[in-house]
Structure 1
Amino acid sequence: MKSNFKADLSKEKQLTPLLDFYYKKHLKHHSFERVSHIKKQLQGIDLILKDNQSGKSFYLDEKAQLDYINESLPTFAFELFYQKAGIQKQGWLFDTSKKTHFYALVTSIYSDETDMFTSCSITFVNREKLIFLLDKTGLSRTYLEQIITENQDVHGKLVLEKLNPQTEGYLFFSRKNKAEKPINLVLKLDYLERIGVAKKLV
C-alpha cells in the first residue's frame, strides 16, 4: 500500500486549466482567484470566488475523482477519517479548522490525450447546508463516529439504516487497500441535488 499523494498533485495541476475554463464560461457574474498559499489550502480553500454584483466572497475546496479517469461515477466520497503515521485523523467533511463554503466536486474526468484532461463535470455543494441536512436526517458527526467505533474491523461497504444505499448513500471503509485507510460517507450526486445542497455547474 502506498500513498498516491505526488501523483495526485501532478494530476491536479493538469486539471486546473480545464476547471478554470469552465468557471470562466459558466460563472458569468463572478471573478475567481486561485489560492497558492499552503496555509489557506490546508484550511480547505483552493479558490476564492467573488460575486461581482454583491461583492461577497466564497471559499471553494476542489475535490476531484482522480482515481477514476475516463469513468463516470454516480457517487462522491466525503472523507470522515483517515490515518497518518498510524493515528486516526479527522477527515475534511467535519473538520472545524476548514473554512470551506462550497465543495467543487469534479467527476467524470476524461482524458482523450496524453497528460491532458479534455472534459469533466463539476458539482457545487454547499458545505454548511450538507452538514445541516445530514444532521437533520440523523447522520450527525457524533452518530457517524459512534457507528465507525462500533465497526472497527469492517472493510468495504456498510449500509446505514438512515440512507437508502441504492438511491442515497452508505459508509465505505478502505482499511486494506489504501495507505491512509480513509473512512468515507459515499453519497449519490443526484441525491445531493434532490435534497437541495448541490447544483451542477457543468
Structure 2
Amino acid sequence: MVDASNFKSDLQKETQLSTLLDRLYHKHLRFYDFERISDLNLQLKGVDLIFTKKSNQKAFYIDEKAQLDYINDDLPTFAFELSYQKNGSLRQGWLFDPSKKTDFYALVTAIYSDEPQRYTSCKITMVNRANLLTFLKTKNLTQETLENYQKETNGKHGKFVLKELHSHQEGYLYSSTKNKAEKPLNLILKLDFLIENGIAKRLI
C-alpha cells in the first residue's frame, strides 16, 4: 500500500523543484523553448518536458530525474533504473523500457535547500538516451547482459562490481533490497565518466 503522507511529501518536493528548474531553464536555454508536460500518459512514457529548438522547431522529449533523496548533497554518480518490484512482481526499469519516448534525461543533482520549503540551487546534466544505450552496448552492457547480472545478485542488497566497468571511475550495479520499497536494481554511473565520453553535458 502506498503511504499517503509520503506520496504527498514527494509530490510537494517535485512541485518545489519544478519551480526552481523552470526558472533555470528560462535563464540558461538560449536556443530552445520549453514546455512542462502535465499529460499523465506522456509522463508515463518518459516525457516531463519538451524542448523545442528555436531555429528549426525540432522537438526533444525530456525526462527529468532528480536526486530528491539526497538534498544538500552533491553526489558524483547517478542511478539508472534497470528493474523494480511492484505488487510482488518484477518490472522493467526506465532505462531499457521500449515504451519510453525519452530523447534526453535531465539529471538533477546537488539540490540545495538554503531556505525553508524552497530549493535554491542544483546542477542539471543532460544525457542523450540513444547515445547512452549505444555506448553501453559497446561496453557489452546490453539489457541481456545486465539481466544476467541481476540473476547473480540473487536478491542480495548492496554494490555489485561489473567486469565491464571500473567500479571507482565508471560505474557498478546497486541492488536496494533492504532500504527501498520497490527494491530497484540500478546501474550506477559516474557523471564525469558520461561527460568525458560525450554522452552527457552539463547544462547548469
Normalised by the size of structure 1, how large is the TM-score?
Answer: 0.97
1:139-154 residue pairs with structure 2 within 5 A?
A: 139-154=141-156
* Contact 1:63/1:103 (<8 A) preserved: yes
Alignment of 1:50-69 (within 5 A): 50-69=52-71
CA distance in 1, matches of 2:72, 2:28: 23
Structure 1 residue 2: deviation in Å? 7.2
Choose between structure 1 and 2 for higher RCO, CA contacts under 8 A separated by at least 6 residues: 1
Cα distance in structure 2, aligned partners of 1:161 and 1:2: 37
What stretches of structure 2 of length at least 5 have no aligned partner? Answer: none
**Aligned letter for 2:29?**
L
TM-score (structure 2 length as normaliser): 0.96
Alignment partners' CA distance in 2, 1:51 and 1:18 = 22
State, as a whole percentage, how many aligned pairs show the same letter: 57
Cα distance between partner residues in 2 of 1:135 and 1:5: 36
| Letter of the 2:74 counterpart | S
Instruction: Give the CA deviation at 1:29.
Output: 1.3
The structural deviation recorded for 1:153 is 3.1
Q: Separation in 1 of the partners of 2:92 and 2:42?
A: 18
| Residues 1:97 and 2:99 are matched in the alignment | yes
Q: Aligned match of 1:170 in 172, 177, 198?
A: 172
Distance 1:153 1:25 in 2: 44
Q: Paired residue for 2:48?
A: 46
Partner SS, residue 19 of structure 2: helix
Letter in 2 for 1:78: F
Q: SS state of the match for residue 149, structure 1?
A: helix
| CA-based RMSD | 1.3
* Number of equivalenced pairs: 202
Counterpart check, 1:192 vs 2:194: yes
Report the residue type matching 2:26 in the other structure. Answer: K
Residues 71-150 of structure 1 mapped to structure 2, 5 A cutoff: 71-150=73-152
**Partners in 2 of 1:6 and 1:130 — Cα distance?**
33
Asked whether the equivalents of residues 64 and 107 of structure 1 are also in contact (C-alpha less than 8 Å), the reply is yes
**Structure 1 unaligned runs (5+)?**
none
